[in-house]
Chains A and B, each alone.
Chain A
Amino acid sequence: MSNTSALQEEIARLTAALKEERAKLTDLADLLRRGIEREAGIWEYGFEELEEEMWRRFATLEEEQDCISEDQTLPSQRLPAAVLRRLKKWYRTISGPLSRTIVDKRKQFNLDQQSLLNKESIPFYLSIILTLQKIKDRLNTLEETVLKLQSDEDEQWREIQRLVSPKDQGPKE
């Protein structure tokens, strides 16, 4: 047996074995070892559900918009919370350049909160895009209906004119 045919046969054998394995699978994700499709969810929402989704996400985005870390300030027995907050802000302003070099980044910029914002932003924008698509589809349908109505109107006028003056032959505009 030549080397070429040995390789050819080996490839044919492996291909047949893999095809057999493939035939047992039913999900593309198993075939590719990864998911390929987006989860169902916002994609199939109607107008009202999309609107609700947008406002719900917007509320979270608005509430969580500031990603600079700030621990909750509680009032002490001597100073009210508002004064304590001002003092902390004043201290941060003065020590800013120094603290930025030594304080952990996570303390300066709240990555967890930013991550939350990202996760809220995607469905928020998707809801807007899908709403726009649906509006566009409706406009197209409406436009088509208007054109058809105009055309029907033309024809009806023509019919009326024909009935009113039967001697005047030929279609009118």
Chain B
Amino acid sequence: MDLSPAEQFLSFLTQDPEPPDHESARRLFEWLRAEPGDTAGFLQGSIEALAERKGIQSALNVLSRIEVALGFRRPRLGLYDNALHFIGGAQKYGCTVAHALQDIFDITLIAHRNVTLEQLQDWYGLDLSRCRIKVVSIPYFDQRGTGRGVFDAGLVDLRGDNPFHAVSWESGAYDVFFNNCMLEMVYPLAPVSVMMVHFPEREISRFFHVPHYDHILYNSRYTADWIRRRWRVDPHVHIYPPVDMASPLDSCLDEKEDVILSVARFEPGGNKQQLEMIKTFFHLVRHHHRDLQGWRLILAGGSIPDNPYLERIRNWLREPGHPPVELEVNLSADKLKRKYRSARLFWHFSGLGQHDPARIEHFGMTTVEAMQNACVPVVFKGGGQKEIVEDGMSGVLFESNQELERKILALIKEPEKIRKLARGAHARGQNFTKDVFVSKVRQHFLDILREYRFADAK
């Protein structure tokens, strides 16, 4: 017996466990748009039955979906980051997503500590004027006073309750929940859930909810490989992070000096290996003095106050008569850009001599920043760097100190080759701009929304 549209809709609301196929759901919503009054009468019974069978959240999600599908309101997106109150690359990624989507969704940025939109706009140079911020407190961390505002899932006691369920509850208030900090302990309650994985830092634990996310985004193929290996799930969509440091090619090439530049945080643990760079540079200058005549090494990067690693670097540079090395700590974006524009070569050693995948660069934003300023990257052949730099075309890759020494000397002896690589690097760097990122993010979320609304796809 054929069901009337109203009966089909009733069945759509209450059926268990599979949702309707896209085409029949779309027809139903078309009917609803045309005859909304027919539905109101039996909605209550259906929703109550659904709440009884599958829980209150399922019923709320169905109502949300009907509202958005019928155009009663704009869709809501909750973007969560446990470190939104700190400046960071992952946080910039999340804020750029919010910036890209704020004309499509009502966006709420979910944080654990007070941070203002003005601060975020100032830190990342983005317009976030149509977003709002909501602070969700996590009593577990507040009570323990752990780590000066750091909400680290690695500190959670697995014998107790999951402290991140405060965020899980909040996630149910949105049509789309975007977990920007790959916090695997958050269970998504929204009808559509998206997780951005910058790298799967922790192993599977008792509180592991990644398989419940509908869409898993990743920043590089290297990260995707580790998501599969470490979490046993297949990620879905690859979107490289936005890098917005580009300068016109010709003006950059005119400003070049004999400078090797490194831009990386001075991490207290020394993961970015600035000391190794100093040692390598000293070695090169001592053994190939004539070839490196006039070359300088500049180490730029952010640092926390009282950084012991930075102090060790300073100790090295206190010696009189050492080869020319300059330290530039916590430079403004403008000054940093000038460094990129004037440097001929760029070094990145993260991953050299390391075995732990977390210590290898997952993507390499500063490498792209250098390339966008025609600064030739000479970087360790590992992690995400291999995806950015095409060896011999847009930069140079190395796997050992010996290979680095050989390749650097060869480069320095051939200025024309450096110019050719600089052009290649500059062209390659255009693949990772903010415009490219925004376009991909918007496309992905418009597809999600089309599906959510049961609108005719494409």
Task: List chain A positions with a Cβ less than 8 A from chain B.
Answer: 2-4, 6-11, 14-15, 18-19, 21-22, 25, 28, 30-34, 36-38, 40, 43-44, 133, 140, 143-144, 147-148, 151, 154-155, 162, 169-171, 173
Chain A proximity mask over B18-54: 1 for CB below 8 Å, otherwise 0:
0000000000000000011111100110010001011
* Contact between chains at B53 and A33 (CB < 8 Å): yes
Establish whether residues A11 and B55, one from each chain, have CB atoms under 8 Å apart when the complex forms: no
How many B residues have CB within 8 A of the partner chain?
A: 59
Q: Is B334 part of the contact surface with A, judged by Cβ < 8 Å?
A: no
Q: A3-B38, A143-B356, A162-B319 are in contact. List 11 more A-B contacts (CB 8 A).
A: A6-B37, A8-B36, A19-B60, A21-B51, A28-B187, A32-B189, A43-B205, A143-B354, A147-B353, A171-B319, A173-B283
Which of A11, A30, A32 has the most chain B CB atoms closer than 10 A to its own CB? Answer: A11
Contact across chains for B44 and A10 when beta carbons are under 8 A apart: yes
Which of A8, A32, A171 has the most CB atoms of chain B within a 10 A radius of its CB?
A171
Contacts of A44 in B (CB 8 A): 157-159, 206
Q: Which of B66-74, B115-123, B131-139, B366-374 contacts A (4 or more CB under 8 A)?
A: B66-74
Interfacial residues, chain B to chain A (CB-CB below 8 A): 35-40, 43-44, 47, 51, 53-60, 63-64, 66-67, 70, 72, 157-160, 162, 165, 168-169, 172, 187, 189, 203, 205-207, 209, 269-270, 275, 279, 282-283, 286, 312, 315-316, 319-323, 353-356
Q: Which residues of A contact B187 (CB under 8 A)?
A: 28, 36
Contact of A33 with B43 in the complex, beta carbons under 8 Å: no
Q: Can you sample 22 A-B contacts with CB below 8 Å?
A: A4-B36, A6-B40, A7-B40, A8-B36, A10-B43, A10-B44, A11-B63, A11-B72, A14-B47, A14-B59, A22-B172, A32-B55, A32-B57, A36-B187, A36-B209, A37-B207, A43-B205, A44-B157, A144-B269, A144-B356, A148-B270, A155-B316
**Which of B35, B67, B162 touches A11 (beta carbons < 8 Å)?**
B67
Q: What are the nearest 3 A-B pairs in CB distance?
A: A3-B37, A33-B55, A43-B206
Query: B48 — nearest CB in chain A belongs to which residue?
Result: A14
Residue B316 contacts which of A14, A133, A169, A171 (CB distance < 8 angstroms)?
A171
| Nearest neighbor of B60 in chain A, beta-carbon distance | A18
Docked pose: A21 CA to B56 CA in angstroms: 8
Q: Are B55 and A40 in contact (CB under 8 A)?
A: no
Q: Are A11 and B37 in contact (CB under 8 A)?
A: no
On whether the beta carbons of A14 and B44 are closer than 8 Å, the reply is yes
Among A8, A9, A19, find the residue whose CB has the most chain B CB atoms closer than 10 A.
Answer: A8
Q: Collect the chain A residues with CB atoms within 8 Å of residue B207's CB.
A: 37
Minimum Cβ distance to chain B for residue A3 (Å): 3
Taken together as a complex, chains A and B put the C-alpha atoms of A3 and B157 apart, in Å, by: 53
The reply to whether A22 and B40 form a contact with Cβ atoms under 8 Å apart is no
Q: A22 contacts which of B43, B57, B355 (Cβ < 8 Å)? A: B57
Q: Which residues of A contact B37 (CB under 8 A)?
A: 2-4, 6-7
Contact A173–B43 (Cβ < 8 Å):
no
**Chain A: CB-nearest residue to B38:** A3
A4 vs chain B, min Cβ distance (A): 5
Say whether B72 contacts A151, CB under 8 Å. no
Contact B315 A155 (CB under 8 A): yes
Q: CA A40 – CA B156 in complex, angstroms?
A: 13
Residue in A closest to B35 when the chains form the complex, CB atoms: A3
A31-B319 in contact (CB<8A): no
Given A6-B37, A7-B43, A155-B312, are A169 and B320 also a contact pair (CB < 8 Å)? yes
Q: How far is the CB of A93 from chain B (nearest CB, A)?
A: 44
Residues B70 and A7 in contact, CB atoms below 8 Å apart: yes
Q: A170 and B320 in contact (CB under 8 A), knowing A14-B43, A25-B56, A40-B159?
A: yes
User: CA–CA, A43 to B206, complex, Å?
Assistant: 6
Write out the residue numbers on chain B whose beta carbons fall within 8 Å of the beta carbon of A30: 55
Contact between chains at B60 and A22 (CB < 8 Å): yes
A21 to B57, CA, bound (A): 10
Measured CB to CB, the nearest residue on chain A to B185 is A37
In the complex formed, the residue of B with least CB distance to A9 is: B40
Distance in Å: Cβ of B74 to nearest Cβ of chain A? 14
A147 to B354, CA, bound (A): 9
Given A21-B56, A37-B206, are A28 and B319 also a contact pair (CB < 8 Å)? no
Q: State whether A15 touches B63 (Cβ < 8 A).
A: yes
Which residues of chain A are near B269, meaning CB under 8 Å? 144
- The reply to whether A40 and B353 contact each other, CB–CB distance below 8 Å, is no
A18: contacting residue among B56, B283, B319, B322, CB under 8 A? B56
Cβ–Cβ contact B57 & A170, under 8 A: no
In the complex, A32 Cα to B50 Cα: how many Å? 11
In angstroms, how far is the closest chain B Cβ from the Cβ of A123? 13
Asked if B169 and A18 sit within 8 Å, CB to CB, the answer is: no
Q: How far is the CA of A22 from the CA of B173 in the complex (A)?
A: 11
Q: Which residues on the B side are within 8 Å of A154 (C-beta)? A: 279
Closest residue on chain A to residue B64 by CB atoms = A15
A38: which of B38, B55, B206 is its contact (CB, 8 Å)?
Answer: B206
Closest-CB distance, A125 to chain B (whole angstroms): 13
A11 to B159, CA, bound (A): 41
CA distance A32 to B190 in the complex (A): 12
Q: How far is the CA of A11 from the CA of B157 in the complex (A)?
A: 41
CA distance A82 to B86 in the complex (A): 76
